[in-house]
Structure 1
Amino acid sequence: MSEESGHLARPGYRIAWKRVAGEGPTVVWLGGFKSDMAGAKAEALADWAQARGRAYVRFDYFGHGESEGDFRSGTITRWREDALAVIDELAAGETVLVGSSMGGWIACLAAMARPERVKALVLIAPAPDFTEKLMKPEIPPEGLADLARDGVWLRPSEYGEPYPITRELLEDGARWSILEAQEIPIEAPVRILQGGEDPDVPWRHALELAQGLKGRDVVFTLIKDGDHRLSRPQDIARIVAAVDEAVS
């Protein structure tokens, strides 16, 4: 089964997407902060979907990859809305949400907004509340000064050019916090894969999410020598196996 591509119209911009037609629940890929749908994990799932005849959709958020928009204007609110638009307009029936890093947070928010559409979640190094819990505490004094003066801080990145972090992103992210809730109202089965040597999302952060979920069918897998990306062949094999289980 070949993969089709297109653009989904949103107010003032368009989201780029790719889709494989197939059977069963639609697997929806939700990428990470400043990543895109051309990454190794998203590509591997496209290959799996075509080989297995499974339905699969991947897309780029506003300001990411092939989609339109200025990344600096992106917020959790906007990216959540992008995910919901893809689920509503490009995925038929039940879905399995596969969220990586920030995409794990977006997947949880989408599952809370569309519980009747979500069969299961597979979360890879999930980073819920990362703006408030992981990013904000690490901003150095000069970064705080940049945010106060310019509304943006250029955060160094191991993965390429510095990431522009805006005051609006931080303030908006705080509004979507889920870890502070007494219980995270997600009852669908959840599989979490987390690297023990992840420098960006500590494994205890991902475990806090697992422990806060309302549902009982939650499995947390710690890959002791795994990093944040979990893109080694053995890591990708684990991810594909988790997705394969989730759609069955």
Structure 2
Amino acid sequence: MLQFEMMEARPGIRIALERHEPRHPDDRKPGFLWLGGFNSDMTGTKATRLMDWAQAADRFFIRFDYSGHGASEGRFEEGTLSLWLTEARMVLALARDRPMILVGSSMGGYLALLLARESPGSIKGLVLVAPAADMTEALMEPEIAANAEALGAIARDGVWLRPSLYGEPYPITRTLIEDGRQHLLLPQGLDLACPLRILHGDRDPDVPWQHGRKTFDAIRSPDAQFILIKDGDHRLSRDQDILAIRRAAEELAAD
């Protein structure tokens, strides 16, 4: 069983993380922070393969689980974007003054954009995989509004157990939806000082590629690319998908 480092996120809640530190203390090459998706964990295929690559290349790399996810403490249904963004910010601070590439999948891509908005100029690059920008308003609320059972559950219980293609149903809470309204990006757009790469599968059933394109169009960057991957699903975990993600990260980290 994997053993992870534990870091206190708030009183009574610790989050799990794993990092690779370069062998040479004076190595200041850009590092990488993996930001996973909603209801995922850091032992997934993409995060594991990217960690393996970083270790082989001796590059600084951090991956972690948000509270309520994976090996971290806390209850998933108590999570919000505000809490998970705070945790991502804390983990990013472990890089100290090292330039960092943020590699975010789905919700992790959204959080990466929020981190870049908070700290313009301090992020070296963004590699986003099917970014779920404004996910509570743009993706979850329309689905709930079109589903009488979901509407009733949210109104009655404050939570709806959403069926999943990948396992057991998972909770969507009224608190999560309401909190998400504080973090909207798409209406105003975003100015980025760093390069951006968005990779999106053209057969993504969870975050349609058109939403990824809308996100791309809302971002103003001197160096941005939108890469549509043929027959790619939401996870983009095939060998060729992971290679494309890795190459994008390597390109942005090049000295």
TM-score, normalisation: structure 1: 0.95
SS of the residue corresponding to residue 115 of structure 1 reads: coil
The match for 1:114 among 119, 131, 136 is 119
The match for 2:154 among 147, 151, 175 is 147
**Which residue of structure 1 aligns with residue 45 of structure 2?**
40
Q: Within the alignment, does 1:193 sit opposite 2:199 as a pair?
A: yes
- Trace 1:43-192 onto structure 2 (pairs within 5 A): 43-139=48-144, 140-181=147-188, 183-192=189-198
**Which residue of structure 1 aligns with residue 230 of structure 2?**
224
Is contact 1:21-1:56 (8 Å) kept? yes
Q: Which runs of 5+ in 1 are unaligned?
A: none
Is contact 1:5-1:19 (8 Å) kept? no
Cα deviation, 1:145-202, whole Å, max 9, x if unaligned, reads 1111110000000010101000000111122110111x31222100110000000111
Structure 1 residue runs of 4 or more that deviate by more than 6 Å after TM superposition: none
Which has the larger strand fraction?
1
**Which residue of structure 1 aligns with residue 14 of structure 2?**
14
Q: Within the alignment, does 1:243 sit opposite 2:249 as a pair?
A: yes
Number of aligned residue pairs? 245
Q: What percent of counterpart residues are identical?
A: 50
**Which residue of structure 2 aligns with residue 207 of structure 1?**
213
Task: Provide the rounded CA distance (Å) in 1 between the counterparts of 2:91 and 2:108.
Answer: 14
TM-score, normalisation: structure 2: 0.93
Task: Provide the rounded CA distance (Å) in 2 between the counterparts of 1:52 and 1:9.
Answer: 29
Tell me the C-alpha RMSD between the 2 structures: 1.4
Q: CA deviation at 1:92?
A: 4.4
Task: Provide the rounded CA distance (Å) in 1 between the counterparts of 2:227 and 2:95.
Answer: 30
SS of the residue corresponding to residue 190 of structure 2 reads: coil
Q: Which runs of 5+ in 2 are unaligned?
A: none
